[in-house]
Structure 1
Amino acid sequence: MHHFAYRDGILHAEDVPLPAIAAAIGTPTYVYSSATLERHYRVFRDALAIPDARIFYAVKANGNLGVLMTLARLGAGADTVSEGEIRKAIAAGIPPERIVFSGVGKTAEELAYAVGAGIHQINVESEGELEALSAIAAGLGRRQAVVLRVNPEIGAGGHAKITTGGAANKFGISFAEAERLYAHAANMPGIAIEGLAVHIGSQIDELSALEAAFRRLAEIVRGLRAQGLAVTRLDLGGGLGIPYAMSPPYEHGPGLIEAYGAMVRDVTAGLDVELGFEPGRIIAGNAGILLARVLYVNARADRRFLVIDAAMNDLVRPAMYDAYHEIWPVSEPEPDAVRLAYDIVGPICESSDTFATGRELPALAPGDLIAFKTAGAYGASMSSTYNQRRLVAEVLVKERQFAATRPRQTYEELLGTDRAPDWF
């Protein structure tokens, strides 16, 4: 469910008409719904039905300060993959004891910052990282809580580029090495080894691969305990998929989250561990849209290009993953409106700056507003200044209010990050 709907012929975000945001902030602009973020977090939490489960929202999906503050007030923690994300989470009001740090390439500086900040745990992904972290933490007089991220050699996801649990993927410690490294970590001076973690991919809409990965993790837990080693935590990652088709028939049927919760409870029954989860897309995806304006309609004999002011630097998913986003006109079309096939493209000098090909929409004209649905995850967080285009603006809506939580970058800010070499 989301809170973007037509009222009196105009698409609204909660109680705010989108043309009001376009007039005040301009386009292209991401618009997020507080009500949707809050609802999705509660639905996920309640579907788990696991007392004391820890939910670490995946900041990489959408690191907007307003989004993080909204979730922080509901009790969410943060799954982070850089020092910058840790700092952003803390700035949003998420305390360090509700933050985990993941990623295969953490630098010494990042590890030192995380240890010093007192975060809940670091998800270690290699033996080299384990050794480096132990030395850093011991040097700071700390023993850092750690879980080992295991690669279960079971990959899943909506695209090859978002599959992370296969044997050929770069993530995690091999299944065969997990018990040896866990025992080694138990004797390291800067390490407090607590448990295991796994994350096999993103946009997963069928639970068999997740269940198989979790059962492999449970197998390791039993093996470790048989050796007398304590295991108190399991971090089960994220990856549940969401519907990118916002109108029936939906891509995924209802009940996926509830079925996931039941599966987790079954697999982990009797393990007596603290369970952690890292949802991202499932919280933020349908909570955001990208608002854009039509610049030109370029009609040819065999096709019709709809040129808009948003570009692949604002929303890279279609170019990067061949991702699908529904596109809605902000002015509600009449039920019998003629529909035309458009190639919807942006202004960047790349043929890949194409959002959709042959997409049927009501007739549109220069100046009309459109909304890319399901753009709240991996939209603004992956945006850039390619072609020296200013970073896209972001807006958070709450009922009748809205605020620019990332104002559109100015040209002075864009150019101000550059420095001329001394010899010029």
Structure 2
Amino acid sequence: MDHFAYKEGKLSAEDVALETIALEVGTPVYVYSTATLKRHFQVFSEAFQGVHALVCFAVKANSNQAVLRTLAREGAGADVVSLGELTRALMAGIPGDRIVFSGVGKTPEEMHAALRAGIKQFNAESEAELEVLNLVAGEMGLTAPVSVRVNPDVDAKTHAKISTGKSENKFGIPWQRVDAVYARIKELEHLEAVGVDLHIGSQLTDLAPFREAFAKVVTLVKDLRAKGHDIRHIDLGGGLGIPYDPEQAAPPAPAEYGTMIREVLGDLDCGIILEPGRLIAGNAGVLVTRMLYEKKGVDRTFYILDAAMNDLGRPAMYDAYHAIVPVREAETDATLEADFVGPVCESSDTFAKARKTTPLKAGDLVAIKSAGAYGAVMSSTYNSRPLVPEVLVDDTRYAVVRKRQSLEELLSLDEVPTWLTGSG
């Protein structure tokens, strides 16, 4: 459920018409719903009532400070993968002991910052990383809490570009090396193994791959404990899908996911860490864009929008489906098929092909739905297009939580050497 609905013929975020925001802030613009963010976090958390669980929002899904602060007030921790994300999480009020640091390429600088912040754990991705982390922690006179990310070699049955749990993927330590890696951690003076970590992919719509991977890890935890390792919790990652396409079956609900995890863990007596991102933020945001032109092709109609692949890259990168709806409720039952495209000079700058839609005209506003995760965070300035603004709605009020980047601000990032200016 989300809080975007037509009210008096106008698509609204909670009690604010998207048309109102577009007129004031301009388009394209991302709009997020506070009520939806809160509801999704609450529903997910409630699925684990009675279990010692820490829900760490995956900051990579949406790193806006206003979004993070909203979730922090609901009790969310954070899963971060960079110094920038760590800093954002701390600034949003998420305490260090509710932050886990993932990612395959942590730098010594990032390790220093995370140790200073007192994070809950590092999700280590390689043996080489562990050696560096031990040195950094030693320099600081600290012991780094570590969970080893294992690669269970499980096919998540998701898009190849968001699969992370197969042996061919870059993530995690091979299953065959896990025993040796934990033995090495015991030898390293400034590391402490506190858990096991895994994450098999994103936008999973079937619980079977989760069940298979989690069962393997439960067996692993029992084996590690038998060998003297004090494994206190399992980081199960994220990845549970959301409904993008209303024509397709909905993914499992968080309650089903929670039930499955309880069944797999059994009496293991182990805390769990969960890292939902898309599930919390995906359907809490839309991208509002204005139609610039209708263009008739030989055998198709193109609706050219002022948003482009640099603003929302998922369709171009993953052939991802996003529902596209008019901001003004249609007054006719007539439909046609159109390609929704952007102005960027790439054929991949296409949001939808042969999509059934009500007829639109130049100047009409449309909302690209399910854009709250991996939307603004993945945007770029390709074609020298400035970054678009983000707006957070809370009931009847709204605020710009990231302003539109001006062309002057974008160009000011460039520096021309003196030999090209004639002054050197």
Question: Where in structure 1 do 4 or more consecutive aligned residues deviate above 4 Å?
Answer: none
* 1:22 corresponding residue in structure 2: 22
Which residue identity does 2:146 align to in structure 1? V
Q: CA deviation at 1:250?
A: 4.8
Other structure's SS at 1:71 match: helix
TM-score with structure 2 length normalisation? Answer: 0.97
* 1:319 corresponding residue in structure 2: 316
Structure 1 stretch displaced more, 372-381 or 255-264: 255-264
- Counterpart Cα distance in 2 of 1:207 and 1:31: 31
From 400, 410, 415, the counterpart of 2:411: 415
Which residue identity does 1:70 align to in structure 2? T
Q: Indicate if the aligned counterparts of 2:392 and 2:400 stay in contact, CA closer than 8 A.
A: yes
* 1:309 corresponding residue in structure 2: 306
* Residue 266 in structure 1 maps to residue 236 in structure 2: no
From 336, 342, 360, the counterpart of 2:338: 342
Which residue identity does 2:249 align to in structure 1? E
- Counterpart Cα distance in 1 of 2:147 and 2:238: 16
Other structure's SS at 1:412 match: helix
* Residue 300 in structure 1 maps to residue 270 in structure 2: no
- Counterpart Cα distance in 2 of 1:108 and 1:114: 10
Q: Indicate if the aligned counterparts of 1:211 and 1:267 stay in contact, CA closer than 8 A.
A: yes
What is the aligned residue count? 420
Which residue identity does 1:167 align to in structure 2? S
Q: CA deviation at 1:304?
A: 1.0
* 1:291 corresponding residue in structure 2: 288
* 2:274 corresponding residue in structure 1: 277
Q: Indicate if the aligned counterparts of 1:179 and 1:220 stay in contact, CA closer than 8 A.
A: no
Alpha-carbon RMSD = 1.1
Q: Indicate if the aligned counterparts of 1:48 and 1:261 stay in contact, CA closer than 8 A.
A: yes
Other structure's SS at 1:349 match: coil
Other structure's SS at 2:187 match: coil
- Counterpart Cα distance in 2 of 1:128 and 1:270: 34
Q: Mapping of 1:99-110 within 5 angstroms?
A: 99-110=99-110
Q: Indicate if the aligned counterparts of 1:30 and 1:393 stay in contact, CA closer than 8 A.
A: yes
* Residue 85 in structure 1 maps to residue 82 in structure 2: no
Q: Indicate if the aligned counterparts of 2:157 and 2:209 stay in contact, CA closer than 8 A.
A: no
- Counterpart Cα distance in 1 of 2:298 and 2:151: 52
- Counterpart Cα distance in 2 of 1:354 and 1:175: 40
Q: Indicate if the aligned counterparts of 1:244 and 1:251 stay in contact, CA closer than 8 A.
A: no
- Counterpart Cα distance in 1 of 2:326 and 2:212: 42
- Counterpart Cα distance in 2 of 1:76 and 1:416: 36
Q: CA deviation at 1:357?
A: 1.0
Q: Indicate if the aligned counterparts of 2:193 and 2:229 stay in contact, CA closer than 8 A.
A: no
* 1:252 corresponding residue in structure 2: 250
Q: CA deviation at 1:273?
A: 1.6
Query: Structure 1 residues 310, 157: CA separation in 2 closer, same or farther (over 3 Å shift)?
Result: farther
- Counterpart Cα distance in 2 of 1:385 and 1:96: 32
Q: CA deviation at 1:199?
A: 0.2
Deviation string 1:234-285 (CA, Å, 9 cap, x unpaired) is 100000000002x4x45315x5311110111111122222210000000000
Which residue identity does 1:287 align to in structure 2? A
* 1:37 corresponding residue in structure 2: 37
- Counterpart Cα distance in 1 of 2:419 and 2:186: 54
Q: Indicate if the aligned counterparts of 1:236 and 1:278 stay in contact, CA closer than 8 A.
A: yes
- Counterpart Cα distance in 2 of 1:205 and 1:49: 23
Other structure's SS at 2:75 match: coil
Deviation string 1:149-179 (CA, Å, 9 cap, x unpaired) is 0000113153000000001000001111112
- Counterpart Cα distance in 2 of 1:259 and 1:229: 31
Q: CA deviation at 1:229?
A: 1.9
Percent identity of the aligned residues?
A: 53
* 1:380 corresponding residue in structure 2: 376
Other structure's SS at 2:292 match: strand
* Residue 61 in structure 1 maps to residue 24 in structure 2: no
Q: CA deviation at 1:301?
A: 3.8
Other structure's SS at 2:393 match: strand
- Counterpart Cα distance in 1 of 2:112 and 2:218: 31
* Residue 243 in structure 1 maps to residue 240 in structure 2: no
Deviation string 1:382-410 (CA, Å, 9 cap, x unpaired) is 00000010001111000001111111001
Q: CA deviation at 1:351?
A: 0.8
Unmatched 5+ stretches in structure 1: none
Q: Indicate if the aligned counterparts of 1:157 and 1:203 stay in contact, CA closer than 8 A.
A: no
Q: Indicate if the aligned counterparts of 1:179 and 1:223 stay in contact, CA closer than 8 A.
A: no
Q: Mapping of 1:119-130 within 5 angstroms?
A: 119-130=119-130
Other structure's SS at 1:122 match: strand
* 1:140 corresponding residue in structure 2: 140
* 1:400 corresponding residue in structure 2: 396
Q: Indicate if the aligned counterparts of 2:64 and 2:401 stay in contact, CA closer than 8 A.
A: yes
Other structure's SS at 1:100 match: strand
Which residue identity does 2:3 align to in structure 1? H
TM-score with structure 1 length normalisation? Answer: 0.97
- Counterpart Cα distance in 1 of 2:413 and 2:49: 47
Deviation string 1:35-78 (CA, Å, 9 cap, x unpaired) is 00000000001112243310110000111111101100001000
Other structure's SS at 1:377 match: coil
Q: Indicate if the aligned counterparts of 2:51 and 2:271 stay in contact, CA closer than 8 A.
A: no
Which residue identity does 2:415 align to in structure 1? R
